[in-house]
Amino acid sequence: MNFISADWPAPNSVHTLVTLRTNGNSVGPYSSLNLGDHVGDDPNAVLLNRQALQPFLPSEPIWMRQVHGTSVSSTHSRIKGSAQLPEADAAITDRPNEVLAVLTADCMPIFFCSVDGKHVGVAHAGWRGLCAGILQNTLDTLVRQSGGLSPSAFMAWLGPTIGPNHFEVGKDVMEAFAKQGFQIGPDSFIPIPSKPNKYLANLAVLARQALQKTGIERIYGGDLCTYSDPIRFFSHRRDGVSGRFASLIWIQP
C-alpha cells in the first residue's frame, strides 16, 4: 500500500497517514484504493481495501458520517462499543492508539496536534464547513480536552485538496466567506475574466486564515492538489463519480 505522511515537526508520538488511490481492489472511477463506503462502490471492494489498510494502524479507524458541518466528535463524547458512526466533520482524542479518520476527494483534511504530543485531531473542511467554523470548533474542543492549553500550543497540517487553479466557485461563495470575516483578495479569490461572477478559490489560503484566527501559529502543508494529480488522489470535481482517500492520525507512545 502506498501512502504519505504529514510533513510537519510533530512529536514522535504523533503518527499520520494519508492513503493514495493505488494498489486497491476497486475498479472503474473508484480505482483502486477507495475507502469510502457511501459513493456507490462495490461494498466488498471497500471492505477489502479497509482490511488492507489495517496492518498499518494500531486499531480500527473511527470513521464518521461527514455532513459538511461543524460538529466535533471527542474522545469522551463517543459511545464506547457503539456501531453507529458519529455524525461529525472533525474528531479529537487524547487516547493512545485511537485512530481518527476523515474521507475526502477535494475537500481539505487538516491534522492537529499539541506540541507535547498528548492531543491530536483531524478535520474535514470543504468550503461550507471551513466558512462555518469547523476549524475553530476543532481547536476549541482540543483546548477544552487539554485542560486549557493555549491555541499556540498546537500545530496544524493542511492535507491534499483541490488547488487554486481548479476550484471554481460563484460569487455567493466569496460573499459567504466575506460575511464571516475572511480577507477577500487576489490570494483567496481570483476573478475569472471569461466568466462573470465566477472565481478561483484558494482553500489553503482560507484555511490558513481560519487557523490564524484561532491562535495557531505553526501551520504546515497546503501544497498538494487533488485535481491535478489523478495518479495519486481521487477528485470529485475532476471526475464526478469518484472514490475517497483517508487521512488518519493517532498517538502511539
DSSP label at 55? G
* Nearest of 128, 162, 152, 156 to residue 242 by alpha carbon: 162
Q: Give dist(CA 100, CA 110) in Å, integer.
A: 12
Q: 16 in a domain, yes or no?
A: yes
Global pTM value? 0.97
Which residue's entry shows cell 482553500? 203
Residue 81 CB coordination number (10 Å)? 5
Check whether 84 has a pLDDT greater than 90. Answer: no
Check whether 79 has a pLDDT greater than 70. Answer: no
The alpha carbon torsion through 169, 126, 43, 45 (nearest 10 deg) reads 90
CATH code of residue 9: 3.60.140.10
Structure confidence at residue 187 (pLDDT): 98
User: How many domains, in total, are found in the chain?
Assistant: 1
* Nearest of 99, 148, 151, 89 to residue 120 by alpha carbon: 99
Q: 55 in a domain, yes or no?
A: yes
Q: Give dist(CA 60, CA 192) in Å, integer.
A: 44
Can you point out the beta strands (E) in 45-197?
A: 72-73, 90-93, 100-104, 108-114, 120-125, 154-158, 168-170, 189-191
Q: 171 in a domain, yes or no?
A: no
The band of 236, judged by pLDDT with boundaries at 50, 70 and 90, is: very high
Q: 168 in a domain, yes or no?
A: no
Structure confidence at residue 52 (pLDDT): 98
Cell triple for 3: 501512502
Check whether 104 has a pLDDT greater than 60. Answer: yes
User: 47 is in which domain, residue-wise?
Assistant: 3-162+217-251
The band of 75, judged by pLDDT with boundaries at 50, 70 and 90, is: confident
Q: What is the mean pLDDT of residues 207-213?
A: 99
Structure confidence at residue 82 (pLDDT): 60
The band of 81, judged by pLDDT with boundaries at 50, 70 and 90, is: low
Instruction: Give pLDDT tens digits for 142-164.
Output: 999 999 999 999 999 999 999 99
Instruction: Give pLDDT tens digits for 122-144.
Output: 999 999 999 999 999 999 999 99
Average pLDDT over all residues of the chain: 97
The band of 80, judged by pLDDT with boundaries at 50, 70 and 90, is: low
Instruction: Give pLDDT tens digits for 15-46.
Output: 999 999 999 999 999 999 999 999 999 999 99
